[in-house]
Structure 1
Amino acid sequence: MVRGLDHVVMPVHDLEAAARAFEKLGFTVSPENRHSWGTANRLIQLDGFFLEILTVADDSLITDSEGSSFSFGGFNRDFLNKREGASMLVLDSSDPEEDRADFEKAGLSLFDPFSFGRIANRPDGSTAEVGFDLTFVGNAASPDIGYFTCRNKFPENFWQPVLQNHANGAQAIKAVYMIAEDPSDHHEFLGGFTGQREMRATSLGLELDTARGQISVLNPRAYRSLIGDDAANAMIGPLPQIAAIEIACTGVTERRVVPASQLFGLTLILSPAA
């Protein structure tokens, strides 16, 4: 089974400032939501994919990862202590037990199962219960990137049409771009994680099509060619890293690149919808 892109986690120091920046780009951003372990988020929902803009709201509630127990809050707190930007790549899930079996078969490093629920705040002031089953895996070749699958237990409560209506016509995720000195180092892990064993490999990088959007792992030279010198020069943080996401927008007539230096550590590519 080939999994699809579900969301990208983006830790920032100032949640409200980041939300305003995305709103100025024509995105509708959800109200703030809180996690019981000390983080808060605001979401940008597309067609089956979302960007989770995250911050540390109460550091006293955050625990550290220990042994086989993975701490979402601790990982993102530690990431944010180094820099802002994209910290985690998340795929969708229909069955976490099947995910675990697939990951074990692929030889991936697994953490304990984790499930949680929270209250979602809607733009009209109402609330709804949402819940998720998460399956975390580790990749020693990219320690600064977190990976997990996410089963949405109440999709009818989570996905809200009003949040998927964007002034810029944003519709769908086209690609997530990662940068690595040697993209081939990530071939086996990403194949096992996504379930997609068919991928295009060149001297410039890897491309694999998921069930929703593409993952592209590029070397620095290829990334510069894709993104342009200005955006590439603004890149921060060690490699490998999640550097950019590309979103298809009906309200965009030509490709636009918003560099990481202008958007809290994540480069955004807005492309015309097909």
Structure 2
Amino acid sequence: MAARGFDHVVWAVHDVEAAANRLEAAGFTVTPRARHPWGTENRLVQLDGFFIELLTIGAAAEIPPASDRFFSFGGFNRDFLERGEGASMLVMESGSAEDDRRAFERAGLHVYEPFSFGREQTRPDGSIRKVGFDLTFVRNPSDPLHGFFTCHNLYPENFWSADYQRHENGATVLDTVVVVCEEPAEQHIFYAAFTGEREMRASSLGIAIETPRGRLHLMPPSAFEALYGVPAPALMPGGSAIAALAVAGADRAAVAQSLARQGINAVESREGLVLPAADGFGLALVFA
């Protein structure tokens, strides 16, 4: 089974422009707004092979219903936003949707019907190019409140842009995705299948899985608060939360000074400079 790196994180927000403004204030370049045919709209932050997808529900959105076989991307994020904002979905890279499906089925996971889509994307120079993706949605029985899928980028040469990958803060790559849960050990079977990584490191701070692009760290609330210096997200009994996203490459001192000048709260922690989730649309953002 091939190991998969992180492709992107879906960050569901009520006001995508306000969220984009906050990321721009933190020194990120954010792409123009785009609309999906199933009712969602997004703006992106591109790093090196990984991106953050700010996502909201569009006005008068026509969202297809979900079923046990069909995963409704728009419906899932609409329902997520009814509970609150934050990271709603984790996405791993894919080289083949068919291979992903077979691997997930062998692992005993529930896999939804194949899903592919394409659209036109505006590049920084104003040119229009086609992008397309094959998505393989899978269910995590231990975490039904979040979505999980792999993404096969069919036209990477059209999707990625060097201009969009340049950020004033200097950030270049994903460092860590942090998932908070009461019992990390109960999640490891799913994440081993989802990432394709069987090797993981367990400690008193949780379970760490090194993927080809970024680290996944599963940890209890107490460990999160000790490492990141901000409150852990509230959890439902047996639940999980995608609590933080850490990026690397930024000049932390310069970022801290810039945020202070703008009156934006940031917390120095053991793991880096943290923009707390309580101030920023439900997801802590960390400059590692």
For 1:267, the equivalent position in structure 2 comes to 284
**Separation in structure 2 between the aligned mates of residue 54 and residue 236 of structure 1, nearest angstrom:** 22
1:217 matches 2:218: yes
List alignment gaps of at least 5 residues for structure 2.
254-267
Asked whether the 8 Å contact 2:181–2:235 carries over to 1, the reply is: no
For 1:258, the equivalent position in structure 2 comes to 275
**Separation in structure 1 between the aligned mates of residue 59 and residue 75 of structure 2, nearest angstrom:** 12
List alignment gaps of at least 5 residues for structure 1.
none
TM-score after normalising by structure 1: 0.95
Q: Deviations over 1:19-41 (max 9, x none)?
A: 00000000000000110011000
1:128 matches 2:129: yes
**Separation in structure 2 between the aligned mates of residue 236 and residue 64 of structure 1, nearest angstrom:** 29
What amino acid is aligned across from residue 40 of structure 1 in structure 2?
A: E
**Separation in structure 2 between the aligned mates of residue 243 and residue 83 of structure 1, nearest angstrom:** 13
Number of residue pairs matched? 268
RMSD: 1.3
Which residues in structure 2 correspond to 1:1-274 (within 5 Å)? 1-228=2-229, 231-232=230-231, 235-236=233-234, 238=236, 239-253=239-253, 255-271=272-288
**Separation in structure 2 between the aligned mates of residue 39 and residue 207 of structure 1, nearest angstrom:** 32
**Separation in structure 1 between the aligned mates of residue 183 and residue 103 of structure 2, nearest angstrom:** 25
Alpha-carbon offset, residue 122 of structure 1: 2.3
**Separation in structure 1 between the aligned mates of residue 96 and residue 110 of structure 2, nearest angstrom:** 18
Asked whether the 8 Å contact 1:169–1:252 carries over to 2, the reply is: no
Q: Deviations over 1:63-99 (max 9, x none)?
A: 2211210011110010011100000000000011111
**Separation in structure 1 between the aligned mates of residue 234 and residue 197 of structure 2, nearest angstrom:** 29
Alpha-carbon offset, residue 192 of structure 1: 0.7
What amino acid is aligned across from residue 224 of structure 1 in structure 2?
A: E
Comparing 29-38 with 200-209, greater Cα deviation is found at 200-209
**Separation in structure 1 between the aligned mates of residue 12 and residue 65 of structure 2, nearest angstrom:** 17
Q: Deviations over 1:185-218 (max 9, x none)?
A: 1010000111100001234311000110100000
Alpha-carbon offset, residue 59 of structure 1: 4.6
TM-score after normalising by structure 2: 0.90
Asked whether the 8 Å contact 2:250–2:287 carries over to 1, the reply is: no
Tell me, what secondary structure is at the counterpart of 1:243? strand
